A and B are shown apart, each in its own frame.
Chain A
Amino acid sequence: MKIRFTVNGSRHDLDVAPQRRLIDLLRYDLGLTGTKEGCSVGVCGACTVLLDGKMISSCLALAVFADGGAVTTVEGLARDERLHPVQQAFIDYGGFQCGICTPGQVVAAKALLDAIPNPTEDEIKEWMMGNLCRCTGYYKIVESIQKAAAR
């Protein structure tokens, strides 16, 4: 099936099989391996991307759902050599350890700050609830997002 969409601002015209999932299209057809696959059932948040500004699980979305839309992945957050404030804050305040969940965390955090520029701690926790981290815990993730919001 022919689909036309943008990923991180670049336009793509592709022929995809209907059973291709969005995450496979991103990782294997476009080489954007920043988006990770964890649980494959929409629970863990590692595969979080934005479709038309809304965060979704790319492991549960068919690639054809992106037809006519705009996808944002972790590769699209930095501008030239300048990291997105969320990415910089995760580095500065230790918001990650092993890093496998981090692309999903920062994409979700970017969507949060786009929707609520100065979130309360409760708003951060509710928004980020579906992005699981199994090593460093959540204090530093919450702190990183608070610092990014303050910048």
Chain B
Amino acid sequence: MIAFDYSAPDSLAGAVAALDEAGDDGKAIAGGTALVILMMQRLVRPSRLVSLRRIPGLDRIGPADGGIRIGALATHRDVETSPVIRERFPVLAETFRQVATLRIRNIATVGGSLAHADPNQDPPVTLMALGARVRIAGPDGERQLPLDEFFVEYYQTALRQNELIVGVELPFPAPGSGSAFIKFLPRTADDYATVAVTATLALNPDGACREARIALGSVGPTTLRAREAEALLAGERLTEPLLAAAGEAAKRIADPIADQRGSAEYKREMVGVFVRRAIRSAWSGARGANA
């Protein structure tokens, strides 16, 4: 690794100031599992590293207005094992459980995962389908962005150089909701997905879909939101033709690349398959919640 200066401020304001001062040469580090690899491979060469690990309280998972707040420094394992997340957002706990291995989940953080912006990651898929908002701190204070406006391109986000992720906020799911995360892993359990899909939906008392959110991972330059597929579901009852149409709509926005996990054509085909399965599973969960 190339030499760099390292500081570990003990406040959020101190970390933002250090990043602001470092300019384009600066980079924030939390768990380091993504950044250290990029630095060893010399793909990223910051001359100043600002550690967030000494900032107190930034790992907290707690209540927010009408939902919960997950601090940027919460580890994947913290989210996976959090009692409130297991109770209110079981699909999120399950998603984090499927990331890499326990060794990585013990140290990789929620904020680091989002800032890394690798579209192959699982957590952003479920966070997006749950309507997450990203809280961002900068020199002029705090701002928020919906997660579906946060990712820009492969490894690029809306974060400015002197901004940090403080955490994410999730609204509690509406009554009568169901959700499902499906990670298609034809190779090994710790691999990135060939396709990952999360569907969340809320049903009306008459059994028709009130609202749906569908997000896709590993099949485009960013985590994708399948809005056309979502719109097809609204107001409808679950039928085979509806599932087929939603799967086709999701396939149209997929823009996968060919790699060892499959050809682009294969991955696009699998988007259709797994979107149908995720909708069916979320629908059945929502029915159970309404019963």
Q: Chain A residues in contact with chain B, CB under 8 A? A: 1, 17-19, 21, 40-43, 45, 48, 51, 54-57, 60-62, 64-65, 67, 108, 126-127, 129-130
Contact = CB atoms under 8 A, between A and B. Distances in A.
Given A45-B103, A56-B103, A64-B51, A19 B32 contact: no
A60 B101 CA distance: 13
A61 B107 contact: yes
Contact of B101 (A1, A67, A130): A130
Contacts of B103: 42, 45, 48, 55-57, 108, 130
B40 A129 contact: no
The bracket for how many chain B residues form the interface is: 20 to 34
Contacts of A126: 102
Interface of B: 1-6, 8, 29, 32-33, 36-37, 39-40, 49, 51, 53, 77, 100-104, 106-107, 189-190
Nearest to B51: A64
A43 B53 CA distance: 23
Contacts of A130: 100-104, 190
Given A17-B3, A64-B8, A129-B189, A57 B40 contact: no
- The SS class assigned to the A binding surface is mixed
A17 B39 CA distance: 15
Given A19-B4, A65-B53, A56 B106 contact: yes
Contacts of A21: 1, 36
A122 B53 CA distance: 33
Contacts of B33: 42, 57, 60
A137 B39 CA distance: 33
A1 B3 CA distance: 12
Given A61-B32, A129-B101, 14 more contacts: A17-B3, A21-B1, A41-B37, A42-B33, A43-B101, A48-B103, A51-B107, A55-B102, A56-B103, A56-B106, A62-B6, A64-B6, A129-B189, A130-B103
Nearest to A53: B106
A60 B32 contact: yes
A127 B102 contact: yes
Contact of B104 (A19, A57, A62, A65): A57
Nearest to A125: B189
B3 A61 contact: no
A60 B109 CA distance: 14
A40 B53 contact: no
A22 B249 CA distance: 47
B32 A65 contact: yes
B286 to A, nearest CB: 28
Contacts of B189: 129
